Chain A
Amino acid sequence: MASFAIHSLHKSFGSVKAVQDLSFEVHPGQVHGLLGPNGSGKTTTLCCALGLMRPTKGSVEVLGVSSRALHRTGGRLGVVFDQPVLLKRRSVAANLAYHAMIRGHKGGRTHDEVLDLVGLSDLKKRRAGALSLGQGKRLALATALAGDPELVVLDEPLSGLDPVGTREILALISKLAASGLTLILSTHRLHDVEPVLTHATIMVRGRRVATGPLSEILGQGEGLLQATVQNTPLALEALSRMGGWQVCGQEGSVIDVDLGSSGAQPSELAEVLVKAGAGLVRLQPAGQRLADAFDRLVAQESARK
C-alpha cells in the first residue's frame, strides 16, 4: 500500500488553477522529491495533502487515511513546515515535551535519542529562540521524529539555510533515508537534494511533468547531446534551420541539443555543424543531472503551452 497517494488533485483559487490533475504515489522506503520552481503548486499540493486546505477536486490518502482526518494516523506522520513551529521562549527539551503532549502517541524514539539523532544533545537546555535557523530546523525535525513516524514530510527543508546548514540538514536526511524512513521533500533546490532522492515528481505551473524513480526521470533525456563549438551564433542558426531536434540550452560555446523523438543520429547533428562552419570541437552525451532534466522538462512544458 502506498504511504502517500494523490489522485487527480485539482485546486483553484478563483480563476487561478494552482494544481491541475495531479496524481502520484509514494511507497514505503522512498525518498520522494516534490520538485518545481516557486509558484509551481508544491506548497498548495502539500497543504491539500495534509488536510490544511480543501482540494477543489480529487483525493489524497496519507498512510491509508483521508487527508481530512489525519489525526487518525495516530502519530505515524511527522511534518516539518517551512517555518519551524517552535515555542521560542522554551528550551529545546521543553519543545520536544510540548510536541509530544500534542502528538499523544507514546513509544518509539525517546527525546534523548532523537536529540542525539539531529545533533542537538548539547543544546538541550538552550531556548529555542536562541537557536540558529539551521538548529531550529533540526529541532523541528526532531519534533517530527520523536515517537515513531512512518512517513515524514518536509516542506522546503533547505530554505534560508547557509551552505553549512544545508550540509547539516542533507546529512541528516541521508541518515534518515538510510534507516528506511519514508520521506517526502518539497523543494526547488534540485542540485542540493539530488543525491538523497530515490524518486521525484516534478511540477510546473500546477501540472505534473514527470514522476517516478529518479533514474527514469534522468533517463528520459537519453537523446540529449552537448556540442562545443567555436562559433556559437553560426551553430545556433544552423541548428534552427534543420528541424527534428531542439536546442534546450546554451552557455557560452556549449549548446545542449535534444534529439528527442526526431530519430536523428548524433552523426547527422555533427554533419550539420561542420557544414555550417561552426567549428565543432566536441559532441558528447550531456551529463544528466536533475537540474538538466528539470530544465528540459520545463522547456518541453513551455513548448507544449
Chain B
Amino acid sequence: MTGTLRILRSEFDRLIRSLSLWIVGVTVGAVAAVSALTSSIQILGQGSVESGGGWACMLDGMRTGLALTVFALLVTSARSLAGDHESGLLRMAVTRSVSRPALVLGRLLVAPLPILGGLLASFLGAWLVARSQLDFGPLIEEGYEILSAEELRGEVTLGLFATLPALVALWAFGLLISACSRTAVSAVATTLVLFVAFDLIKESLSQESLYLVFASFAPSLSDSSPLGEAAQVVQGFSDRGFSDELLSLAMWLPWAQALLIVGAAVAVIRSRTL
C-alpha cells in the first residue's frame, strides 16, 4: 500500500508540474467557452427561449470541453506506463520500494486530478460565457414554464455525476493499453484508434454497445453520455431524461469495468519484462 501511495504522490507531482497538461487545461476551458458562445448565439437567434437559456448554453460548452478532456485523459493514461517503461522509471521504481501492482494502482488513484481538472476547466469556460449571455432561471418558452430552475439544476448535476464514472474507467482503459505496449507512441495510437473506432460504430451496435458502458457513456465526438441526455432536457427537446435503468448503468457499471480493466493491467505488469 505504501508503494501505491508513493507512486500516487510522485505521479501527482509530475502532473501538477507538467506544463503541457496546464496548456491542455487552458485549451479545454477555451474550447468550452467558444462552444458555449456559439450555442448562445444560436439560442438568442432563435428567440423562442424567454428564460433559462443559460443551462443549455453551459451544457453545450461543457460537453465539448469534456469530449476534449476524454481525449486528453486517454492520451495521458496511455502514455503513462509505456512512457515510463521507455525512460526506465518503472525499472527504477521496482528496484526501490515499489511493487509491480503499485505501479498501476498508484497511477489509477491519480485519475481524479486530471478528471476534475478537465471538468473544472470545462465548467468555468462554459459557465462564464453562458452567464454573460443568458440567464439561469426556469426554462420558459412562448410563455410556458417547461422546467423550474431547481429541476434544471438537478438534471445537470445528475448528468455530471453519471458521466464521471465513465471517465475513471476510460483512464483505466488507457492504463491497460499502456501496460501492454512497449512504447508510449504505440500505446497512445492504439488507445485512440480503439476508442474512436468504437465511438464511430457504437450507434449501429445499439444495445450491445452498452456492454462497454465506459466507452458508450463518455462524452465524445458522437455523444451519448448522460450529460448529452441532460442537454436534451434543458433545451426542452425531451422531458424524459435518462431512464432509471440507463442511469444506474452509467452510475455503477463503469466502476466494475474499471476494476476489471485495472486487474488486467496489474496482471500484465506483473508478468512482463520491465
Contacts and interface: CB of A to CB of B under 8 A. Distances in A.
Given A75-B97, A102-B93, A85 B87 contact: yes
A83 interface: yes
Interface string B1-32: 01100110110011001000000000000000
A51 B102 CA distance: 15
Given A81-B88, A85-B88, A51 B95 contact: yes
B274 interface: yes
A16 interface: no
Given A52-B273, A101-B9, A74 B97 contact: yes
A83 B86 CA distance: 11
Contacts of B91: 50, 52, 79, 81, 85
B98 A71 contact: yes
Contacts of B274: 52-53
A160 to B, nearest CB: 15
Given A52-B273, A85-B89, A104 B95 contact: no
B71 to A, nearest CB: 24
B94 A51 contact: yes
Give chain B's interface secondary structure class. helix
A178 interface: no
Interface residues of A, number: 26
A83 B88 contact: yes
B186 interface: no
A51 B13 CA distance: 26
Contact of A103 (B13, B87, B96, B102): B96
B contact residues, range: 20 to 34
B273 A47 contact: yes
Interface string B73-90: 000000000000001110
Nearest to B92: A85
Contact of B97 (A79, A87, A103): A103
A102 B95 contact: no
B2 A104 contact: yes
A264 interface: no
A95 to B, nearest CB: 11
Interface in B147-183: none
A77 B92 contact: no
A237 B249 CA distance: 88
B273 A101 contact: no
Contacts of A99: 92, 96
B269 to A, nearest CB: 12
Interface of B: 2-3, 6-7, 9-10, 13-14, 17, 87-89, 91-99, 102, 271, 273-274
Interface of A: 47, 50-54, 69-71, 73-75, 77, 79, 81, 83, 85, 87, 90, 98-99, 101-105
Given A50-B95, A71-B94, A77-B96, 4 more contacts: A52-B274, A74-B97, A75-B97, A104-B6
30 contacts: A47-B273, A50-B91, A50-B94, A52-B273, A54-B271, A54-B273, A71-B94, A71-B98, A71-B102, A73-B97, A75-B97, A77-B95, A81-B91, A81-B92, A85-B88, A85-B89, A85-B91, A98-B10, A99-B92, A99-B96, A101-B9, A101-B10, A101-B13, A102-B7, A102-B10, A102-B97, A103-B97, A104-B2, A104-B6, A105-B97
